[in-house]
Structure 1
Amino acid sequence: MNTNIDAIFNLLAGTARGWRGTGITARARKTPEKVLKLYDIEISPFCRLVREALSEMDLDVMILPCPAGGKRFRDEARQLLPGTKFPMLVDDNTGVVMNESADIIDYLAKTYESKLKSQQGFGRKVAVGTSALASTFQYRIGGFRGMKARPSKAPAEPLVLYSFESSPYSKPVRARLCELEIPYLLKNTPKGAMTDMGPPVFRDKLFKAPQGTTRNRAWLSENTGKVQVPYLIDPNTGVAMYESNDILRYLDKTYGA
């Protein structure tokens, strides 16, 4: 599918969710010493709610993809928490292993000191409903992206992805990583100021403002000379790259079986 048409579908998905997971709205005051782990299905409306919260709290997380038919992490998750559903959070800092998206969001906010709260009652129904609607925009010829496992080769080390939840160009990359069951450290890169809004070419010319408004945006600016997502780092091959289509081709060539 044409990249721009694909981006329009992803923009519709972001609109359905009111652009949750775009900016830092409730930054966590504490940072986990050990990285959080999330057993996740990219297309799941419940997993999306947790990823949105992590983005808004500016917390990084190790994503362990569990697509339908996957074998790499699903059994591992069920050994940790028999009968688990997804998302499932593992916090090695506290020994907590838990599922249920609302409970996970409240746990993260309480433990890492964020003002974010899960929605309850009617608000919860709206959140789940709009998240499910957003998932429908991930349908492409052949089925839903980020849902079913594809044959793949496991990397020796997890990859690293700079992204934020609602980014229309990051969604296809996260979906492919999920389908290939490739673990990756999600370096959340939400917008930290109004001057971060808009496509990089337009934004940087219009505002001419500092790019490092968050810790991960600052890292991108200092180490790559610009700030945009997605940005993939593969420690197994030394490859580091921007542009979603290039990243998709790289993942298929390197890890597709």
Structure 2
Amino acid sequence: MGGKLQFPYMVDPNTGASMYESDDIIRYLVDKYGDGNVPLSLSLGFLTTLTAGLGMLSRISKGTTYTPAKFPPKPLKLWAYGGSPFCKLVREVLVELELPHLLVCCARGSPKRNILYQKTGTFQAPFLEDPNTGIEMFESAEIIEYLRATYALQ
């Protein structure tokens, strides 16, 4: 789409803006949808990249390779938040299988947590909804097993 083999690449369908470079994307999102103040932990340039990379060393190849998969007619929905290692495990598999999905971010303080609570009677993330099969489930290990069994081409 952008003409380069470079990631990340963001397209904002609300404004038509598109861009590369993590720092530019963060600045754009904070200016457009936030309060205009980039959090210190995301404004340190190379140091931010270095510390994020160090945190991923133990899972260095996860989410970076493609596993052939069936393409679902409808996108899956994953309720998750970035700080959860269990949510990260599920996202890695969704990425490896290249399954289209809607990520519903429900971080602490988000009103979306209450929506999930009202829907399920509890708050637990990750929570997967698959409109293609009618499956709704918690527990990262079970979600991963389901995704591989349902969509991975063996």
TM-score where L is the length of structure 2: 0.92
Matched, 1:149 2:53: no
CA RMSD of aligned residues (A): 1.4
Q: Give the aligned residue type for 1:90.
A: V
1:180-230 CA-to-partner distances (Å, cap 9, x unmatched) read: 0011111001111xxxxxxxxxxxxxxxxxxxxx22101111010000110
Q: Which residue of 2 aligns with 1:189?
A: 106
Q: C-alpha separation between the residues in 1 aligned to 2:74 and 2:28?
A: 28
CA deviation after TM superposition for structure 1 residue 169, in Å: 0.9
Q: Give the aligned residue type for 2:28.
A: Y
Q: Which residue of 1 aligns with 2:90?
A: 173
CA deviation after TM superposition for structure 1 residue 125, in Å: 2.0
Q: Assess if the C-alpha contact under 8 Å between 1:84 and 1:99 holds in 2.
A: no
Q: Give the aligned residue type for 1:243.
A: E
Q: C-alpha separation between the residues in 2 aligned to 1:161 and 1:116?
A: 28
Q: C-alpha separation between the residues in 2 aligned to 1:116 and 1:137?
A: 31
Q: 1:185 to 1:254 in 2, by over 3 A?
A: same
Q: Which residue of 1 aligns with 2:127?
A: 231
Q: C-alpha separation between the residues in 2 aligned to 1:116 and 1:231?
A: 31
Q: C-alpha separation between the residues in 1 aligned to 2:2 and 2:77?
A: 26
Q: Which residue of 2 aligns with 1:106?
A: 27
CA deviation after TM superposition for structure 1 residue 114, in Å: 2.5
CA deviation after TM superposition for structure 1 residue 84, in Å: 4.3
CA deviation after TM superposition for structure 1 residue 126, in Å: 1.7
Matched, 1:89 2:10: yes
Q: C-alpha separation between the residues in 1 aligned to 2:4 and 2:47?
A: 26
Identity across aligned pairs (percent)? 38
User: Which of 233, 245, 252 pairs up with 2:141?
Assistant: 245
The 3-state SS of whatever aligns with 2:92 is helix
Q: Give the aligned residue type for 1:239.
A: I
Greater length-normalized contact order (CA 8 Å, ≥ 6 residues apart): 1
Q: Which residue of 2 aligns with 1:218?
A: 114
Q: 1:84 to 1:95 in 2, by over 3 A?
A: farther
Matched, 1:130 2:51: yes
Q: C-alpha separation between the residues in 1 aligned to 2:139 and 2:111?
A: 21
Number of positions where the alignment pairs a residue of Structure 1 with one of Structure 2 = 151
